[in-house]
Structure 1
């Protein structure tokens, strides 16, 4: 990487910034004896750079968090739990899971909205040595059945709404022996189903639970920790199998991204001991079942003694009330959230001066959003990044001036991560500035796909992950995502693989040909739209086809528009549908 020219020469900024290159900042921050020191480990036969001082496992993250004792940790409506209360509830549930027969390597699924019980369920599984499997709480019953059966889940911990969805599917999950349900309003009729409160009680009583020892289970950095499902181009979700090292790598990545900003601005590094710092308060509005909510937010927040504020569902004005009441320092997740806070007519009614960071990733965002955040929240830094489920969330990130000066970039990789741009065949690395497929390597890249050796062999190459994203790198290693090689679109941070929606449309008896394309949306990034060619005599209309898909897939995957093509859809010589032609149908119709 070359040193940057003075910003005054390159982007019109005062030459006082940056005072050093990304490479020099990383060199200082990762030097021997430094907080972010790096060492090399051989992981599954591959030499890999890792954080020397990171907690070895999620069990260590749990222990570090418990040291904050009486600090408030979880806030949800009228429920509040300190770190000690959370720890006691977690250990109580972990010991119950052991009594239920959960052993190291068994799968424990967590399926619920963002509730204080969610991190308790997750870390209870961790303390047993289980492979914790968070499933998408927005999935339909059949989608959840697939996740439970494919993972071989032994115990599921769900909320009452998810129980309704999976109740009729329990018999199709032969490995599932027990379901714990939080906030259940009726008596369970299935003997496999038990109330979670019968084990740990309601949130505000956790502090009165007995202090019990942790389960005696040996856990190491390379042990399997999680299965996070990501849709694949075949339409069936794939479980990304992550280790403890994968999950804890975001703690170092997030910390060094913030520290780098101080060095680049010529400022001294701030105090690093979280016990000596004011508590950082995060309004978490991305789901915990996402790698972003779990690995990039929950883990680092716990390790630093932060407070997490949850919402029943995202509402911009309710969020502003919470920011004011809880003195929230950070929020975000997807560009939608930032736009809605900026443009809300009631924004001036609330004191949002505590905000220090509004960060997002996972969806296309307009460069003007960066300027708007700096303008509307002057005490806050905009931030952006790139990652995927297979990289356990954040792989690149930047914020503040770096982001303001490169608003179309996703930032540089953390220094444990490596990136290269490869030609379509994957045989030749391309020079700086050229567009090709992004390959990445590092301690945050998962082991592979659960029980899918062929897909694993295709995607993971000698420690490198083929991302399927088309991208370029600049001279300083800043990443620019150009397009997605995989046939996928992202609606407000949710991946929608087009073939899955197309397959649902093909199930309709009137549909002969179908394709899904993305139409631009100002805050969500893009939304799915369908182009359909009906069979002779077919009479299905837009409303019928949208309702048909809604019965089969999660609501966010349902096409917002359906256009009808008078003949078979245009294809190239290889039979691939020419989606660039189909997108023209919706030009000017984006929201």
Structure 2
């Protein structure tokens, strides 16, 4: 079946994917008719997929929970939040920590009370934390040791309860362990929670100015999860298993990126609830440790930023390891270099190599593709995930553009955010008549494949010619000595801007500008070839989202121009 045929088959034959239309704020949307109304319902309905709770579920280092034990811990912590800390429907609870089991437990406990989980970046400075705490006004903040130390000086001015966990236990007024162990009051009654109620606030990366708090509803979260459920159901319809194929392995997800970002929270953690998957949390990314975890827990799904796929590939080659359980290797958060697609497919022939595009504002839902389609179009992002999303490519005047023309991608679906917290002007600028203006430039071909070219703000304008940074980076990544590249604008008296690039090279390798230019001559138009390059053997700086920090790299290169080659 084609994607369209498989989608229609599921809509007509599987009640889980039956469609309807809903009206939100006067705007009509396509929506699932029969999905759970809230994230708490999603957890409870997941019991059946997890062997009525008996299946092993959450793993972290030497700790593990069955699904039933995990859900019981969620209910117990809901009692602590409600009975001891006074959290009620509409309150906000901030979670500021690394990937500890307490984070998913508290996420669902907060949701069950009709309160809102606020995910704060664990790498923020004190000033950034101060801004976000003032912005969201939480009743309680849960933090690990490093974050407790950063938040303590801010506590008195904001007036919340601070609870330390793990290495933060004993550093502040409340201890997670002590509160948990002291509570004997049982599970509180669930308040009435509506699908349009707020589930979470997740802050955007904040590459310019303060980060924006993206408000995500229960309906948005559950809609995104069921769109991924549909992708899983579509796969065997498009490529049915052969009669002699072995039975599929139980789904097992490795969570390597921070749970305070959408890539880990939505298509991994929340998706695991109805899909029956076990999850393993990594405290800190290490490719060789990931190999051990994949072997030990028979991990089938690996989803991380592209540099993690590259790290895993290198570690497997160095250790001569085999990872036969892997069935899916996805990339999110940034575009994977095209050259990496075939390298992964050759190293992991049993796995579907996948790419995806989504936003914090869409609960990570968006565009994607896998397998042969991806191998044939490694520069593309894929198809719009069915069945409730709508997409347009528009020009600056808001007019629809035909296939093949470049414009801004705008998306409409029930998975889109409700608003930016406390920022009505930014909300009105981004959400217009139900359409989310992504700020990403792209085009769609006649077959419906979307190619993302760049952020609108990441365009270099050289003498009137628009140059997408991702276009330049994609060509540079094809050089065998380049591990990663970051292109950016350099000021030029004559042309206004020209292209510069910072390169992370393989150990022992080096490049000069002329050698790179010769390599790129048949791969890029001449005006897109970098005028200056900066080379190093260390990874390029990253922003809090684990994406390459283009602004910081550009500033460092300009400040240290004497190191350019």
- TM-score norm. by structure 2 comes to 0.79
**Counterpart position of 1:152:** 137
Distance 1:98 1:32 in 2: 42
1:199 counterpart (164, 179, 182): 179
1:53 shift after superposition: 3.2
1:452 shift after superposition: 0.7
Q: C-alpha deviations, 1:188-210, integer Å up to 9, x for none? A: 3x5xx3111113359xxxxxx97
**Counterpart position of 1:180:** 163
**Counterpart position of 2:24:** 43
1:165 shift after superposition: 1.4
Q: C-alpha deviations, 1:326-345, integer Å up to 9, x for none? A: 11111121111111111226
Call closer, same or farther: CA 1:112–1:254 in 2, change over 3 Å.
same
3-state SS in 2 of match to 1:353: coil
Distance 1:62 1:228 in 2: 20
**Counterpart position of 1:88:** 72
Q: C-alpha deviations, 1:414-467, integer Å up to 9, x for none? A: 2211110011122x1111111001111011111111111111111101110000
Contact 2:74 2:109 in 1 (8 A): yes
Call closer, same or farther: CA 1:407–1:104 in 2, change over 3 Å.
same
Distance 1:106 1:356 in 2: 40
Distance 1:459 1:160 in 2: 36
**Counterpart position of 2:210:** 236
**Counterpart position of 1:27:** 8
Number of corresponding residues: 490
**Counterpart position of 1:339:** 310
Give the number of the structure with larger relative contact order, counting CA–CA contacts within 8 Å between residues 6 or more apart. 1
- TM-score norm. by structure 1 comes to 0.76
Distance 1:442 1:373 in 2: 32
**Counterpart position of 1:78:** 62
1:556 shift after superposition: 7.3
Distance 1:139 1:101 in 2: 27
Q: How does 1:562-577 map to 2 (within 5 A)?
A: 562-564=556-558
3-state SS in 2 of match to 1:337: helix
**Counterpart position of 1:135:** 120
**Counterpart position of 1:559:** 552
Distance 2:150 2:340 in 1: 38
Contact 1:225 1:244 in 2 (8 A): yes
Contact 1:138 1:554 in 2 (8 A): no
Distance 2:423 2:499 in 1: 26
1:353 counterpart (317, 324, 327): 324
Q: Which runs of 5+ in 1 are unaligned?
A: 1-19, 203-208, 270-275, 500-514, 524-541, 543-548, 567-584
Contact 1:140 1:554 in 2 (8 A): no
Q: Which runs of 5+ in 2 are unaligned?
A: 460-468, 474-485, 490-497, 507-533, 535-540
1:143 shift after superposition: 1.0
Distance 1:553 1:210 in 2: 39
Call closer, same or farther: CA 1:210–1:84 in 2, change over 3 Å.
farther
Q: How does 1:65-464 map to 2 (within 5 A)?
A: 65-67=46-48, 68=50, 69-99=53-83, 100-174=85-159, 176=160, 178-184=161-167, 187-188=170-171, 190=172, 193-200=173-180, 212-232=186-206, 234-265=208-239, 279-344=250-315, 347-414=318-385, 415-426=387-398, 428-464=399-435
Distance 2:558 2:37 in 1: 55
Call closer, same or farther: CA 1:554–1:138 in 2, change over 3 Å.
farther
Distance 1:213 1:380 in 2: 42
Distance 2:317 2:181 in 1: 38
3-state SS in 2 of match to 1:121: helix
3-state SS in 2 of match to 1:216: coil
1:217 shift after superposition: 0.9
